[in-house]
Amino acid sequence: MRLASFTLDGTRRAGAVHLPERTVTLLPPEIGTVDDLVRGGPEALDAARAAGGPSLPLSDIRLEAPLHRFRRDILCTGWNYLDHFEESRGKRGGQDPVSLPEHPTFFTKGPDTVIGPYDPIAYDPALSAQWDYEAEIALVIGRDGRSIPEEKALDHVFGYLVANDVSQRDLQRAHGGQWLKGKSIDATMPLGPWLTTADEIDDLGSLRVQCEVDGRLLQDATSGHMAFPVPRIIAELSRGMTLRAGDVVLTGTPSGIGSAREPQIFLGDGDTVVTRVSGLGELRNTVTRTRLT
């Protein structure tokens, strides 16, 4: 099932997207929002699957970020594609580890970064001179758990989305070497276009992750290149730390980022950024000059 969020007659609604028909079935208001479905457990999802409703062409509605209520920061995984780790070696402003870490690297970014699949990406050159793109697969936790065994980790996943972890590289390195500041600028992380439930994904290790900027393909890899696959991420992240239904976890970006290229490529006003993951959909966002300072 592909669950979308949108506003209809002033009320946020949930809908089921049908492909390839490109239609949306409006779920009844009593079903609640996509956030409610994620937190409601299997019974809520079963009710959504059984619900009927009128259908609209997908082109007639403007999709919003599927999730709007966050209990905490977005949870993120760094250096999780081997080729990305290697391409950035010696280019991290003194933050290089000697070798690939034995455990996943985690950080967070503020929930106010989240925007919809077609919303503008905020851009303020007075804040940063190095706006970088990072196509990623995001997952949503659907069942609470702490110290989740790796072999049971996927039982806790509600579904998957496409994300772009737009980062400000100079800010990322300017504040003591930690990543929070350079990852948490408002209105900079597209998320969507819908939330695809886990049962729709046949092979989690073969999803193709791509990013285009102004029609130029800059990132192109598969999830099989992850150093730490999704079950390992969940197991390590949850060790001693409770993951809650509705938590969003980013799983890392592949090679091709702008800061690792020679010459470097950074985003600027008017750039069109297309982020896609096979089976999960496509985001299309325009970098738009916005006063943030």
pLDDT band per the 50, 70, 90 thresholds, residue 91:
low
pLDDT tens digit sequence for 197-250: 999 999 999 999 999 999 999 999 999 999 999 999 999 999 999 999 999 999
Region 257-266: what's the mean pLDDT? 94
Rg (C-alpha) for the chain, rounded Å, is 18
DSSP helix, strand, coil percent of the chain (3-state; round to 5): 25, 35, 40
pLDDT band per the 50, 70, 90 thresholds, residue 83:
confident
The tokens for 191 are 């998320």
Write down the pTM of the prediction: 0.93
The tokens for 249 are 């976890």
Tokens 């949503």 correspond to what residue? 140
pLDDT tens digit sequence for 92-104: 555 555 567 789 9
pLDDT tens digit sequence for 162-179: 999 999 999 988 877 778
Tokens 């009927």 correspond to what residue? 52
Strand partners, 212: 217, 274
3-class secondary structure, 259: helix
